[in-house]
Chain A
Amino acid sequence: MSTTSAARALDSRTPSSSPAVASRRRRPDRGVWIYVLPVSAVFLFVFVGPLIYTAWTALHETNFYAIGEFSGLTSFTELFADPNLPKQIGTTLAFSLGALVIALPAGLLSATVLNSLHRFKRTVRGLFLLPWLMSQATAGVIWLWFLNPNFGPVTAITTSLGMGPTDVFSSPTSALVGVTLITAWWSYPQAMLLFLGALQTIPGELRESLKMDGGGVWRGFISITLPYLRNTIVSVVIVLLMLYVQMVTIILVTTRGGPLGATETLSMRVFNQTFNDFDLSGASATAILLFAVNVVLTLVAIRFRRKESL
């Protein structure tokens, strides 16, 4: 409703008979805000409101989803006193950095290979992109089924080799490695796309000198491509890290944070605290912590972006 009247108000303030250029110079700047009003309203509703609500919840006691007495910073002191927290931060780091260490080079390599191909380019691109075209939920569950310790083909192979069934999700270390690899598998195409975009902007002369340089592909890659992509690499690192720190779906559909909490990252902790423990206050405190981590990453991203445009 309000949008309609806003548009009407905008129109009535636009006398179509007046000299357009002159009026454009004078009025821009109240009318302009009408155009960003809907977006701002949606963001207030979906992001700003909930963030304030989260902070509010963290400062109160909760019973199920009802907010109770003001409790100050209790949920934060509880959060930082929680012996599980250091372990979960460690898990988050291992998961994020682990996936990054795989997805970043895989993405770069895939982009480079794709860029160097002359035949079957579309097919190979489709192949490389396949994991990412799937949803996170699909990626998680198809690996879950593929690695099934009882009926899965991987178990069949390892059993026939005398190594016994493959049982990725039953021990803490292998479960963490498993979800990390699945996440890297799903996300490397995203890195690849970003690199692909950047590789296409490498100036022709540079490419030529790359080709002419008899020293080989590898040296060309190290001495020309890599320095040229330096900025892109930084932004890919940030994009991927944000993705990993926020990851819930893949962990949720494979391990739910288990076994023994080995795959419970901070994001999973927020989810489990809300829907398993019904501890909304605690979940909100964790959410604020997670938000803080994200703000740091975002600030780095913005800072970097400014630099890039300079």
Chain B
Amino acid sequence: MTTVVATRRKKGAGLRAIPAWIYVLVSALLVLPPVAWVLSTSLKVEADTIDFPPAWIPDPFSSGGYAGLLTSTNIRFFVNSLIYAGGSIVLALLICIPAAYVATRFRSRRMETLMTGILVLSMVPAIVVFIALYSMFVQTALINTYPMLIVVYTAIICGQTILFLRNFIENIPVEIEEAAAIDGCSRPQILMRIVLPLIRPGIAAVAIFIFVFVWNDFLVGTVLATTEDMKTVQNGIVRYISTGFGNFWALFSAFVVVAFLPVLGIFAAFQRWFIAGLTSGGVKG
């Protein structure tokens, strides 16, 4: 009896899944072709990239696009993005963890107002503040420097980071902290020795999130980095198609692929944290 029910259910589920799989198929047809095309272009010799009609399978295969990426300018793009991302992760955690902690544990009307203010400000259109920052600092030595861009990235990501960390801190039983306080721990000690270890998964998720955000950002680098040697990976991608000097489609495609690899790698490696971070952080944000 039970087996019959089980099989019937299974069968029904299988049939019911058909529309779902059709949907998945349609999505694949909308998502994959441009990606496949870039992948294919990246493996062609430069002259073949502008053949018409186009060939999907490169003939001959060439790794020239990838080899050609190894220029000091390109490497600089990657190094810059790493510095921006790393710096933003450190700075954002450094300033957001204490803020998230007191915002969760020492609620007052004023604190809520401040947190709402921070949240509202993080929703200001980025282009508005970038342009003002650009014109404010273009005449100073601050523009086009690592600290400047790191602070800007941090500010943009801070609102969400605090929200997300608050969710984590809320889940820590207050009793633990109170016990620690009775043992004579000061507030910074409680934060360092009790809260921090407990929210480690949250910190990891936030770090991943910030990395992907900074790595994928185009606009900050476009506006606030003013020489090629301070620009980011995303600026590097667009550079290939906007300079107007000859065709570099194979190089361009290879660059796109290589620039995507770190994000893809992180996603594959930390998929669970990644998704958890995005879903929970996002709903509140």
Touch A–B, Cβ below 8 Å: yes
Residues in A lying within 8 Å of B, measured CB to CB: 7, 10-11, 14, 16-17, 20-21, 24, 28-29, 31-32, 35-36, 38-40, 42-43, 45-51, 53-54, 57, 65, 109-110, 113, 116-118, 122, 124-131, 133-138, 141-146, 150-153, 155-156, 159-160, 185, 190, 193-194, 196-198, 200, 217, 232, 235, 239, 242, 245-246, 248-249, 252-253, 267, 270-271, 274, 280, 283-284, 287, 290-291, 294-295, 297-298, 301-302
Number of A-B contacts (CB under 8 A): 280
A205 to chain B, nearest CB (A): 18
A274 to chain B, nearest CB (A): 5
Bound Cα distance A283, B122 (Å): 20
On chain A, the residues within 8 Å of B212 by CB distance are 133
B178 to chain A, nearest CB (A): 7
B176 in the interface, Cβ–Cβ < 8 Å? Answer: no
Bound Cα distance A152, B242 (Å): 18
Known contacts A113-B24, A153-B37; 17 additional CB pairs below 8 A are A7-B188, A28-B106, A35-B101, A46-B155, A51-B124, A54-B128, A126-B268, A128-B27, A135-B234, A135-B237, A138-B234, A138-B256, A160-B53, A253-B218, A283-B131, A284-B131, A287-B125
Query: Which secondary structure dominates where chain B touches chain A?
Result: helix
Can you sample 20 A-B contacts with CB below 8 Å?
A11-B186, A14-B187, A20-B183, A36-B98, A39-B98, A42-B151, A48-B121, A117-B17, A117-B20, A130-B32, A134-B216, A138-B237, A138-B259, A138-B260, A151-B52, A153-B33, A197-B282, A197-B283, A287-B127, A301-B123
Binary per-residue interface labels of chain B (112-151) against chain A in the complex, 1 for a CB within 8 Å, 0 otherwise:
0010111111111111110111111011000000000001
On chain B, the residues within 8 Å of A48 by CB distance are 121
B162 in the interface, Cβ–Cβ < 8 Å? Answer: yes
Within 8 Å by CB of B23, from A47, A109, A137, A280, lies A109
Bound Cα distance A283, B185 (Å): 52
A290 to chain B, nearest CB (A): 5
Bound Cα distance A30, B264 (Å): 45
Interface residue count for B (Cβ, 8 Å)? 105
- Whether A116 contacts B17 by the Cβ 8 Å rule is yes
B284 to chain A, nearest CB (A): 8
Given contacts A197-B282, A217-B16, contact A144 B128 (CB under 8 A): no
On chain A, the residues within 8 Å of B181 by CB distance are 20-21, 24
- Whether B96 contacts A39 by the Cβ 8 Å rule is yes
- Whether B116 contacts A302 by the Cβ 8 Å rule is yes
- Whether A32 contacts B102 by the Cβ 8 Å rule is yes
B56 in the interface, Cβ–Cβ < 8 Å? Answer: yes
Bound Cα distance A253, B256 (Å): 14
The residue among A29, A57, A248, A295 with the most chain B CB atoms within 10 A of its own CB is A248
